[in-house]
Structure 1
């Protein structure tokens, strides 16, 4: 019988349940924003991963001179996730040469005619990396490797003194400064992002209260919109539970505990505490490193996409050139080592270290299936990463163990998650080198016995709970 603790699964099965989207109202808004008659705007066409359990539904509209995309946002972490995504796109587009789609208009409050929060932005041409990879030539793959290095390099040069998502500051958030729908101009040369309607006084109060720390040039640091903190299967911590942090260890705790104060149950919290203990010991193995250890926090935190995988990068399938980077909802400032793991084929983490997705055989493959061409391409990617930015290279190779531990710490509780299995495999496979690091941080055998005892108690408690419910 599977162990099931209803406290661990406090969210909803699907965030779109109970949500009614008015696509006719969306069509009207598109016509209003671009000042065209309804007859010149095509109907909404669903694109991308338009299915259940998705954080956004995406539609395209064909206009006379262009195609535009409407991203409808699931009601998870209302206001802050949308405000953070728009600010991140504005911030990166204004400070790098990366191909970030322009947001023409947006609404971060669900009480609008569409029925959900939404963004209206440029259409990104091309296809996802994974769709075109097998058809690319070796020179095209090399070009893509250079472009991915460039993404990481440009983002890493954006720094802050804390960890958190980015927001337009409280002055820019005031409706006296941001233009509203009544004064927008959507000409091709217009700049800046516009709110479709003024924010409510309550939303302004929340933004001003939780996004106080200035970053630079009209932006503030605010609540973190980490992907692992947006799991709707779990309790999604409120913005006040995911505030900016100012050390890697505090950031790790925020991830492991699913917010501060923690939202993990009494059943699950002891496992997360072990991950915090393990991370503390690993992190302090690098006392003088400017990239991996405590000293790296003083070097400032770097901007990252937060969810940079092959589905969020579009390329030209004929040349391999990157045409757009999308889905910036989890973007923000983080320790450099957390996000630099490559993209798609260039993501080496599962090859080089165990993970919670290891299945029956958690051992990494160590590139056993590489062809000679693969070996050359991998060497080229690493060499260019080092040539462009040695700190990036050190984070890419040296940060893998901490990334794996953090990913496992963020996993769901059992019976779905495999965090306990990760800890056991980590110990049994000798990932903690006793000869070089000293004794393992705790007695793993005793810990696993404790977990078994706890599981038995929880199983009986769960059965009693189910029996009591059936009698009601």
Structure 2
């Protein structure tokens, strides 16, 4: 049975509270509020002010831990203070869940900018090369920031004028959606921080096992016929088998931690940075105005951070491989001055396949995860079974056809099978979550809303 996500529209009173909150935080009047995006972690609004300015408001889902939004704020602050990477200005935020809106953040909308992915294909080659070079330098900057563990950046517990500007910020649990969506936020999972990559991957395996067992214990497998029960039992067995193989691969995978000390150190991961995350000046597209969408940015091993950006990799259809090959050469030339980073970029081994598989939903996608793990383990020690991975995408097989269907419906990612990054709400194009395409507007009434000064929101 097809399950269609339910769109939960904002109530008029919620939009009214958002309008009042913005006005009280900024001391300016609101003109209108548009709903432009919703994902499992938050809801995003575009707020037009009566003075002609715009801002972005993001409200955390009430079922999600407060640390997810705190990490987004802390990461943007840290990047602004420690690097030359331009980020949107944080106007105000609230991390108290007792606030009528819950946890929320108000961001300055990038004025006059356009999202790079909407114009990149039409830009001259020299402009494209310049932009790729700039993004490569951003990745290099981030890679030079060192941290003691794998996790997500948090705000200092007691910030003040005496805070050392060079101090390493505290780290908290990872904020990647794979630890929180589909009810996983309610499970007692180890989300970090993790002292080693091996500890992280073992936690990923236990996450999938715990999520599947909780799913069956919750009554999803209620009696519905012998065939259905047999299918559920087979699925459960598949997940358990996949998790067992994942743990075995973690145990046998080389180079995760001390075996490759140069690439094992932890830095801020920007390898998923792409045109959808970049706002540029339309009249001067080589001028990057902001890098946006820091919601799930995290600290990872350098071997994961120093990767060729996904959007420069060859596509399955190969329609623009010549251009991508040129841009990959530009990227490599831009990072060549850092030999450690360059070595990591040229390394594509079992660690990377393991890293991608570990973020998959094994219950939903076990038919892809299990053969992938079997293929990789079949050739250890040594390099991964590239031929086996090609067979995984063979259109002559059932699994290959299913994998290609997944590519068309979900986009590139794990072994080119993960969900595509959604567009940024900090540009003129709204986020196009499939079940939330219509814009809903709250507009200021013709008469003033407040005949007396509003009561401050606690």
Cα shift readout 1:247-269 (whole Å, capped 9, x = no counterpart)? 1111122233328x954437424
SS state of the match for residue 160, structure 1?
coil
Q: 1:271 to 1:156 in 2, by over 3 A?
A: same
User: Which range moved further: 81-90 or 65-74?
Assistant: 65-74
Q: 1:325 to 1:98 in 2, by over 3 A?
A: same
Q: Does 1:25 align with 2:17?
A: yes
Q: 1:414 to 1:94 in 2, by over 3 A?
A: same
Q: 1:271 to 1:371 in 2, by over 3 A?
A: closer
Q: Does 1:333 align with 2:299?
A: yes
Q: How does 1:149-228 map to 2 (within 5 A)?
A: 149-172=136-159, 217=167, 219-228=169-178
Which consecutive segments of 4 or more residues in structure 1 shift more than 6 A? Answer: none
Match of 1:385 among 325, 329, 335: 335
Q: Distance in 1 between matches of 2:383 and 2:324?
A: 34
Q: Distance in 2 between matches of 1:277 and 1:245?
A: 19
The aligned counterpart of 2:205 is: 256
Match of 1:311 among 236, 253, 276: 276
- TM-score relative to the length of structure 2: 0.67
Q: Distance in 1 between matches of 2:165 and 2:182?
A: 32
Q: How does 1:286-365 map to 2 (within 5 A)?
A: 288-292=259-263, 296=264, 300-305=265-270, 308-318=273-283, 319-343=285-309, 345-346=311-312, 348=313, 351=314
**What is the Cα deviation at residue 92 of structure 1?**
1.1
**What is the Cα deviation at residue 65 of structure 1?**
6.4
Instruction: Please list every run of 5 or more consecutive structure 2 residues that lacks an aligned counterpart in the other structure.
Output: 214-235, 386-458
Cα shift readout 1:117-163 (whole Å, capped 9, x = no counterpart)? 21101112423332122111101111111111112111111111111
- TM-score relative to the length of structure 1: 0.65
Cα shift readout 1:156-202 (whole Å, capped 9, x = no counterpart)? 11111111111122223xxxx69xxxxxxxxxxxxx9xxxxxxxxxx
Q: Distance in 1 between matches of 2:129 and 2:253?
A: 34
Q: Distance in 1 between matches of 2:373 and 2:189?
A: 30
Instruction: Please list every run of 5 or more consecutive structure 1 residues that lacks an aligned counterpart in the other structure.
Output: 5-11, 179-191, 193-213, 352-363, 440-472
The aligned counterpart of 2:343 is: 394
Q: 1:151 to 1:285 in 2, by over 3 A?
A: closer
Q: Distance in 1 between matches of 2:268 and 2:292?
A: 15
Any conservation in 1 of the 2:152–2:174 contact (CA below 8 Å)? yes
Q: How does 1:7-22 map to 2 (within 5 A)?
A: 17=8, 20=11, 22=14
The aligned counterpart of 1:420 is: 370
Q: Distance in 1 between matches of 2:99 and 2:328?
A: 48
SS state of the match for residue 244, structure 1?
coil
